[in-house]
Amino acid sequence: MRILRLAASVLALTALWLPSKARSIPAFARKYGTSCLTCHTIYPKLTPFGEAFRRNGYRFPGVDSDYVKQDVVALGQDANKKTFPNSVWPGTLPASVPIAVGFNGQTLVSPDRTSSVARGRNGAVFNLDDLVAEGHIWAGASLSDTVTVWAELTLNESSSPVTLEHAQVLFNDLVGPAHVVNLVVGKGFPTLSSFGPHSSYLADIQIPNAPVTGMYGLSADPFVLVDNYKGLELNGVVAGRFNYAVGVNSGKNTFSSGFETEDAYASAGYKVGGMRLDGEGSGGAADPLHPWAEDALTVHGFVYHSVEHFPTPGAPTLASDDVGLTLGVGARAQLGSLELDLGFYGQTHSHGTATLGGVTADVTWGEVSYVLFPWMVPAIRVEHMRLAPDGGPSVDDLHVMPGIAFLVRPNMKVILAGNFESATGFPQDGGGGALGWQGGSADWGSFVLTPKPGAGPAQGLQEMESIAIFLAWAM
């Protein structure tokens, strides 16, 4: 029973650190009077043009307002710039509220009742509890040709009822040539790659999360790389081929408020071939029937310094800190409709284990996909995580996820995926017992491991966790 409760709590906690499930927002489709397919293949996966739109601060290449079809209310005319400071600097407002809504959830079928996923669900093989798990309210708009806003509220049935996922103001083209210097203020994802955070056909996020302090029972809301943080970020695209970002954010803290903001990161990438990173001057895809296809190679890397605060085990009125340093690299190679994404990061934690010992996490992932039809993309995703704590057993987990993503309609999708896992070792609690854990990149497909009754921390497991059916629609 203890194991079942443990497994259930592992699954329930996941929603706390997995970010929102989609980033496709029909508010943009309405704004520009364009199909989702202008920017997406199977959303939220972006085409090269969609990636450029995202990098440009949710703006079209060229002059964004040229492409806006929706009526806007002028809050001041451009000519008012000539009379500044005797008038307010002008701006615009969408004539209709730039809101979109979406829903998503998953059904997991676990043929093996003894798998970690099934044990987390009372041994259920078929369970519809999460068929609709989340609702989203998105907002995306321009306040001028250079200032844009982006926000997201998520309604979750299993964790916090309402979560403010994103609320960002993007000041684009601050100085110099277009796209070179942009400032993002607010709450959102740190830019750690040349591509959007949801850049996967099968998973929710491109970079799998390793919630180390959560895995060792230190924090109910552990630091992970891809999450929504309050901060400032400077980013940009230089000469169309080089992208960069530097930022600071409030990080994770489950002790109390008021700690020094110390989390900082930087990333950079370079693209060879294909559309420019900012989409400027594009003559369009080589084959207009395959606007997602291009021959290109992009390499990128990042560094992240984090400081997490949480209650000290055994002395919860005292704060403990875990200082982390992460170095990561990645690459995307695209040959027509065939795409290979690879990535790796190594992460050190000063006090990440249950006994506040040091631990390192190495995370590797890869996803190969092929756009067979504009509405059908088979793919296979592989994720590997290794934890090496000071003086304890290591954890080694391989997650293999073959699947197919379908676009039922441009704004409705289904993912069918299998989840296979092979692992040795478990994180240890303070008394040396094995802890169940979950990490990775999707609610419907991630690392999910719960020790079997009587097993020690060094136990090995090979499991078919589930066949996942993920459903999402937006409007």
Judged by the rule CB under 8 A, the positions of this chain that interact with another protein are 62-63, 66-67, 73-77, 79-80, 82-83, 87-88, 90
Tokens for 213, please give them: 């302090």
- In a 13 Å sphere around the CA of 94, the CA atoms on its Cβ side amount to 19
- In a 13 Å sphere around the CA of 131, the CA atoms on its Cβ side amount to 4
Least distance from another protein to the Cβ atom of residue 178, Å: 13
Q: Which is nearer to another protein, 38 or 312 (CB)?
A: 38
- Its sign, for the CA torsion 220, 225, 227, 229, is positive
Cα angle value 181/232/303 (rounded, 5°): 85
- Structural Rg of the chain based on CA atoms: 22
Structure letter (DSSP) for residue 53: H
Q: Which is nearer to another protein, 66 or 260 (CB)?
A: 66
Least distance from another protein to the Cβ atom of residue 79, Å: 4
Least distance from another protein to the Cβ atom of residue 95, Å: 11
Least distance from another protein to the Cβ atom of residue 66, Å: 5
How are beta strands 437-440 and 446-449 bridged, if at all?
Answer: antiparallel
Q: Which is nearer to another protein, 67 or 259 (CB)?
A: 67
Least distance from another protein to the Cβ atom of residue 181, Å: 22
Q: Which is nearer to another protein, 12 or 74 (CB)?
A: 74
312 exposure class (CB count in 10 Å sphere: 0-12, 13-18, 19+): middle
Q: Which is nearer to another protein, 75 or 412 (CB)?
A: 75
Q: What are 389's strand-pairing partners?
A: 359
Q: Which one, of 109, 71, 78, lies nearest residue 93 by Cα?
A: 71
Least distance from another protein to the Cβ atom of residue 72, Å: 10
Least distance from another protein to the Cβ atom of residue 78, Å: 8
Q: Which is nearer to another protein, 60 or 437 (CB)?
A: 60
Q: Which is nearer to another protein, 60 or 138 (CB)?
A: 60
Identity of the residue numbered 420: F
Q: Which is nearer to another protein, 73 or 327 (CB)?
A: 73
Least distance from another protein to the Cβ atom of residue 97, Å: 18
Q: Which is nearer to another protein, 88 or 376 (CB)?
A: 88
Structure letter (DSSP) for residue 366: E
SS (H, E, C) 304-321: EEEEEEEEECCEEEEEEE
Q: Which is nearer to another protein, 93 or 125 (CB)?
A: 93
Distance CA 225, CA 349 (A): 13
Distance CA 138, CA 154 (A): 9
Least distance from another protein to the Cβ atom of residue 251, Å: 41
Q: What are 134's strand-pairing partners?
A: 104, 156
Identity of the residue numbered 3: I
Distances (CA, A) of 209 to 17, 50, 111, 125, 268: 9, 24, 26, 27, 20
Could you please report the per-residue DSSP string of 112-163?
-TTSHHHHTTTT-SEE-TTSS-EEEEEEEEESSSSEEEEEEEEEESSS-SEE
Least distance from another protein to the Cβ atom of residue 240, Å: 18
Length of the chain (residues): 475
